[in-house]
Amino acid sequence: MTPLWMRRRRLGLALITSVVLVFLYLPIAAVLINAFNKDSTLATWGGVTGKWFGQAVSDPEIRHSFVQSTKIALATTAISVAIAICAALYWRSAGRWGRTLLDSTTFMRIALPEVVTALALFVMFRRLNITLGIWTVIAGHVMFNSAYATIVVQARVAALDRTLEDAAADLGAPPRRVFRRVVLPLLSPAVIVAALLTFTFSFDDVVTSLFLAGSGTVTLPMEIFGLVRFRVTPEVNAIGSGVMLVTLTGFTLAAVALFASGGLRRTIGRARA
Amino acid sequence: MSTAGARAQMPTLLRQRAWRSLRLQALAVPAYFWTVLFFLVPLGILAVYSFGQIDILTYKVHFGWTVQHYVDLGQKLYRDSIFRSLELSFGATLACLVVGLPVAYFISLQRRLLEYVLLIAVIVPFWTSFIVRTYAWIDVLSPGSPLARLATTVGLSRTGLLYNNVAVAIGIVANYLPLMVLPLYIGFKRIDPALREAARDLGAPGRRAFRRVVLPLATPGIVAGCLLVAVPATGEYVIPSILGGGKTEMFGNIVADQFLTVGDYPFGSALAVSVMALLTVFILLIRAASSSFGAEGTS
């Protein structure tokens, strides 16, 4: 029988947890509800409507920024994942110093505040008279996203069993084929997770895009950032709902891929041990 | 096989090995190329700029090697605003810890299914767009909203809930709470339940057992959580821009304003270099403190 004070304490903890969960979901719910709210002042509920979504989708400016965001995220993903695979394979065969150097440069790229790294890039591009645009944004996005991707792929590489490659080599497969038929398939879950994370981070990024886009390029988060400084309209809430759908899908797929490859279970198992 | 043949083969083998090691080194090139070109060089330029001078008329930077900008940081006007912004990020981190502790502890006490469901429930908001989650508080806190109307009727706020320090702090806590709860949860989970029972059997009441046994053992988790929240919160730009309404400045905004609005690159660089130095010292201090607890970090 659990003592009374303990049950009471658990009840208290349960209460706090529920309040915190409400606190976490309240803003998300507000955006979703108001995206369907017929009342344009957002003060009261005026019934369900889909017209804000229609308005957002038919707005050429919104469509353009959606295309820009997608282009940037796709390019960032491709470059970041390529860098990550190379770096992780290097890391596996590198000596102690090589590993330490790679690890610290990876960590540094994420640890510094984004404002500082983005501004540093901004200053460099200005100094070199490079016109800001889609490519400068991609350079900035790859800078920190390749670090996240490297960490994900590296974790998988560290767990890779060399005997499979040795077996393939013993059976006469040339190195290139060993890589393509053995190593790459074994790495693919991590590569998928890294790609999904990178795409989502890039698609959702505000700070780096804001400082490196110049005047001609606008991403969807930049568009939202600009719009909400005046007023939150139902149309903004419709765009916001769309962006949330993209990011939620990206991260959920990444989590599912991670779980399917056993990574999450291992993490939780390690936490339990 | 003759010895001559073996000797002829040696250089080929050596060459092969050298070739393979070269190919291995080449794998590191893309990562280092990007790090040097788009990370180290820009930061180096920033560091050099921070010792440079700016022509007030032409806004051209030239290099006179002066420490004036670092001296300027000590001026009352800047000093006060920097301290205020640091206060805000530390306050928000502390609020995150206070809110996150009971939640993480509660989750760690649950059985499998509920444990997973609650963990996922805490993480999922983190998976929705950062910018949307931030501006969403305008929806929630704006004068016409049900919450704001409630606050006015209760007499809680007369100036409104939005565009002040509290709104920025709410935004930071709501955005970064999962980063606090997860390491805390792992910290709690690593504690042997037998220790808690032992404390109880030895007569320590629940609250004291928690304070004297559970909390000290969860220190690595607490340290990791605070680091994960405090570092991005200090450099936060978007949340104060949106929820502070231009009145609340955090370190990130003060730095960005120097570049984007004022145009004083050298002074802005000095600010950016100082925030980097500050965070590095902060991280090293916390690492040293947590290793003296005899526990390795969980991050």
ipTM of the complex: 0.85
Instruction: Name residues whose C-beta falls within 8 Å of residue A131's C-beta, 6 or more positions apart in sequence.
Output: A214
Question: Residue B4's pLDDT is what?
Answer: 59
DSSP state of B156: S
Task: Write down the pLDDT at residue B299.
Answer: 38
- Give the distance from residue A68's alpha carbon to the nearest chain B alpha carbon, in angstroms: 17
Give me the pLDDT at residue B5, please: 60
For chain B, what percent of residues have pLDDT higher than 90?
A: 22
Q: Which positions in chain B touch A121 (Cβ < 8 Å)?
A: 38, 42
CB within 8 Å: A21 and B138: no
State residue B220's pLDDT score: 83
Domains of chain B, residue spans:
68-292
Confidence of residue B231 (pLDDT cuts 50, 70, 90): confident
Q: Which of B99, B160, B167, B164 is nearest to B137 (CA)?
A: B167
Contact between B120 and A196 (Cβ < 8 Å): no
Tell me whether residues A21 and B122 touch, CB distance under 8 A: yes
Statement: residue B9 has pLDDT above 70: no
Mean pLDDT of chain B: 82
The answer for A 47-106 residues in CB contact with B (under 8 A) is 82-84, 86-87, 89-90, 93-94, 98, 102, 105-106
Chain A window 239-268: which residues touch B at a Cβ cutoff of 8 Å? 240-241, 243-244, 246-248, 250-252, 255
Pick the more confident residue, A43 or B282. Answer: B282
Cβ contacts (< 8 Å) between A31 and chain B: which residues?
Answer: 132, 136, 139
Contact B118 A122 (CB under 8 A): no
Note the pLDDT of residue A261: 73
Q: Among A256-270, B6-20, B239-253, name the most confident range.
A: B239-253
Size of interface A-B (CB pairs under 8 A): 228
3-class state of residue B290 by DSSP: helix
- d(C-alpha B224, C-alpha B97), whole Å: 11
CA distances from A233 to A119, B42, B135 (A): 30, 38, 11
Residue B148 predicted with pLDDT over 80: no
List residues bridging with B61 in a β-sheet: B54
pLDDT of residue B294: 47
Identify all chain B residues contacting A41, using CB atoms and an 8 Å cutoff. 144
- B132·A272 Cβ contact <8 A: no
Identify the closest residue of chain B to A9 by CA–CA distance: B206
Test A87 with B31 for CB contact under 8 angstroms.
yes
Domain ranges of chain A: 53-272
CATH architecture of B68-292: Orthogonal Bundle (1.10)
Question: Nearest CA to CA, how far is A154 from chain B (Å)?
Answer: 13
For B28, which of A102, A271, A273 is closest by C-beta distance? A102
Instruction: Verify whether the Cβ–Cβ distance B259 to A119 is below 8 Å.
Output: yes
> Is residue A123 helix, strand or coil?
helix
For position A2, what pLDDT does the model report? 62
Instruction: Average the pLDDT over B101-113 and give the result.
Output: 90
Chain B CB contacts of A112 under 8 Å are 235, 276, 279
Give me the sign of the Cα torsion angle B186, B191, B194, B200: negative
Chain B residues with CB-CB distance to A89 below 8 A: 27
B260–A211 C-beta distance less than 8 A: yes
Is A184 touching B (CB cutoff 8 A)?
no
B62: enclosing H helix or E strand: strand B61-62
**What band does B33 get if pLDDT is binned at 50, 70 and 90?**
very high
Residue A273 scores a pLDDT above 50: no
pLDDT (average), residues A87-112: 90
- The C-alpha of A225 sits at a distance from chain B's nearest C-alpha, in angstroms, of 7
Nearest to B128 among A13, A34, A247 (CB): A247
Q: pLDDT band for B18, please (50, 70, 90 cuts).
A: confident
- Residue A77 pLDDT class (50, 70, 90 cuts): very high
Q: Measured between beta carbons, which residues in chain B are less than 8 angstroms from residue A86?
A: 27-31
Are residues A31 and B136, on separate chains, in Cβ contact within 8 Å?
Answer: yes
Residue B68's pLDDT is 77
Amino acid B297: pLDDT: 40
Per the CB < 8 A criterion, the answer to whether A4 and B94 are in contact is: no
B contacts of A43 (beta carbons < 8 Å): 144-145
Q: What is the mean pLDDT of chain A?
A: 87
**Placement of tokens 């999904």 in the chain:** A196
Share of chain A above pLDDT 90, in %: 51
For the ranges A205-219, A259-273, B155-169, the maximum mean pLDDT occurs at: A205-219
* pLDDT tens profile B72-81: 777 777 777 7
Q: Residues of B25-63 as b/e, b for ≥16 C-beta within 10 angstroms?
A: eebbebbbebbeebbeebbebbeebbbbbbeeeeeebee
A53-272 has CATH 1.10.10.10 classification: no
Residue B62 is predicted with a pLDDT of 65
User: Model confidence over A38-71: pLDDT tens digits?
Assistant: 877 766 777 788 888 888 888 899 999 999 999 9
